[in-house]
Amino acid sequence: MQVDLNLIKKYNKPGPRYTSYPTVPHFSESVGINEWEEQIRLNNQVNNRDLSLYFHLPFCPSLCWFCGCTVVITKRQDRTVEYLDYLFTEIDLIKKRLHPNRKVVQLHFGGGTPTYLSPDQILGLGEKIHRSFTFAHDSELGCEMDPREITKEHINALREMGFNRASMGVQDFKPAVQKAVNRIHSKEMVKEVVDWIREAGFQSLNLDLIYGLPLQTPRSFEKTLQDILEINPDRLAIFNYAHVPWMKPHQKLIKESELPSPGEKLDILKIVIETLTSSGYVYIGMDHFAKENDELAIAQQEKSLQRNFQGYSTKSGVDIYAMGMSSISQLDFIYAQNFKDLPTYYNRIEKGVLPIEKGFIMSEDDITRRNVIMRLMCDMELDYNVMSSQLGIDFRSYFKSDLTKLDEFETDGLLVRSQDKITITEEGRLFVRNISMTFDAYLDKSQTRYSKTV
């Protein structure tokens, strides 16, 4: 895949990542616990729908200055004991609202640093989850990991609890870059953890990198890429660092004068895409790459790929029940987010109520547009007749004004249009966020400052 830097400069503008539609900034406190409880009740009447469970484990021993997640920085291990007590109670609150026949097909531990928990705590949490829910035989269980805060005992505990997918943050191997963002680890440390993961029998390994960090250069990041290719992960997520100190004040610790210039960032991105797509990886879209025989790549070919708050997924038709502070749940017609501060989260759990702070109830138009955006993000195409049949609309008529906005993308070779279809080109995959924005009814009404699309 070849990358045109001029096109990147043209289309590199702020826009949503579309892990949901409508996006989180549109959630409202007017949608709270009463609306969420009612939707759970209605949703649970269809007791054959599969479940996806997410657990937010927010603790980290130190702050990575680039971080955009909701985290709790502490050296006090006892704080995790308290948190798990409340999390166990939230599990009970969710469990009693769900039909026991419903099966979990996906489980994810995110953070923070989930492996900040001790191996015994991981085993305890895993046992609680397995006692509370029924798992499908082919369920995916994934955990995010930090190579600095993990032992072989952590890996074995996760495997004992059924985890079969690992995702580890590497970000960059250049020591000066690591020091500049307060996240220091060696290449040897990462390789050792990868060996433990493979030795334990995990089915899939994803590694995260970030480009646009201070003191990175195209040449230095190319060296990191070559080191990563030697490790040979199944998947790679390579994120564009979003410098948003007005949203994340700790990012002020990063020296803006040391950040790569926009031109250097584009050069790095060009190297990333051209290196990986010539090394056996498929550019799935957004920031994600997978080997040609990986389930993500196969699902994309079969048009069964999905996208939600956990990124790209092969599990379709699932309801997401998320637990822990700040976590976001998703059912057919509603999103609901837990409180983002521990005291309020704890207070609601103590009262025996689900700790919902805000949410969003979708209209018919929201659901229609969500489906269109998801299929674009996952399939890299839209078949008008298929979409008309699936959505119960005349696609051409419904989106008549939106379709006229695609002319410029077509002129620039980012998509091809026929009478019945839109197909995003290989180069156009890089701009799928921009193309998807065409169908977003909220962008013109939003004052949100999004990260840039490329």
Q: What is the pLDDT of residues 329-370, one digit of tens each?
A: 999 899 999 999 999 999 999 999 999 999 999 999 999 999
Question: Quick check: 1 pLDDT over 80?
Answer: no
The one-letter code for the residue type at 73 is I
Cα–Cα distance measured from residue 10 to residue 21, given in angstroms and rounded to the nearest whole number? 25
Residue 327 has pLDDT above 70, yes or no: yes
Per-residue pLDDT, averaged over 253-274, amounts to: 93
Q: What is the average per-residue pLDDT within 244-264?
A: 92
Strands laid side by side in the 381-383 sheet: 381-383, 421-424, 415-417
Q: Which of 205, 172, 187, 402 is nearest to 296 (CA)?
A: 205
**pLDDT class of 8 with cuts at 50, 70, 90:** confident
Can you give the pLDDT at residue 188?
A: 97
The answer to whether 375 and 51 are in contact (CB under 8 A) is no
How far out from the chain centre does Cα 276 lie?
20
Beta pairing, strands 334-338 & 328-330: antiparallel
Q: Is the pLDDT of residue 262 over 80?
A: yes
1 closest CA partner among 270, 376, 301 = 270
CA pair distance 296, 281, nearest whole angstrom: 11
Q: 275-314 pLDDT, tens per residue? A: 999 999 999 988 899 999 999 999 999 999 998 887 888 8
Write out the CATH class of domain 17-323. alpha beta
Q: Are 446 and 29 in contact (CB under 8 A)?
A: no
- What percentage of the chain exceeds 70 in pLDDT? 99
Q: Give backbone dihedrals phi and psi of 62, rounded to 5 degrees, phi first.
A: -150, 160
Contact 315, 306 (CB under 8 A): yes
The pTM for the full model equals 0.94
Whole-angstrom Cα Rg for the chain? 22
Cα torsion 404, 410, 415, 416: sign: positive
The pLDDT value recorded for residue 447 is 66
Q: Is 212 left (phi over 0), alpha (psi -120 to 50) or beta?
A: left
Per residue in 152-193, pLDDT tens?
A: 999 999 999 999 999 999 999 999 999 999 999 999 999 999
Q: Which amino acid is at 185?
A: H
Q: What is the mean pLDDT of residues 47-63?
A: 94
How many Cβ atoms are within 10 Å of 228's Cβ, its own excluded? 21
Q: Which two tokens stand for residue 59?
A: 């603790």
Domain ranges in the chain? 1-16+363-445, 17-323
Is residue 425 classed as helix, strand or coil in its secondary structure?
coil
Alpha carbons 438 and 404: distance in angstroms, whole number: 9
Q: Using CA atoms, how far apart are residues 454 and 114, in angstroms rounded to an integer?
A: 29
Which pLDDT score, from 0 to 100, does residue 14 have?
A: 84
φ and ψ at residue 278, rounded to 5 degrees: -100, 5
Report d(CA 283, CA 131) in Å as an integer.
Answer: 38
What is the model's pLDDT at position 189? 97
Tokens linked to 62: 């130190």
Q: Given a cut of 90, is residue 13 above it in pLDDT?
A: no
Q: State how far the Cα of 451 lies from the Cα of 180, in Å rounded to an integer.
A: 21
Sign of CA dihedral 445, 448, 449, 452: negative
Task: Specify the pLDDT at position 446.
Answer: 67
- Give me the CATH topology for the region 1-16+363-445: Arc Repressor Mutant, subunit A (1.10.10)
Whole-angstrom Cα distance, residue 286 to residue 208? 13
Question: Which contacts (CB < 8 Å, 24+ apart) does range 176-179 have?
Answer: 176/215, 177/213, 177/214, 177/215, 177/216, 177/220
Tell me, rounded to whole angstroms, the distance of Cα 143 from its chain centroid. 12
> What is the C-alpha end-to-end distance of the chain, expressed in Å?
16
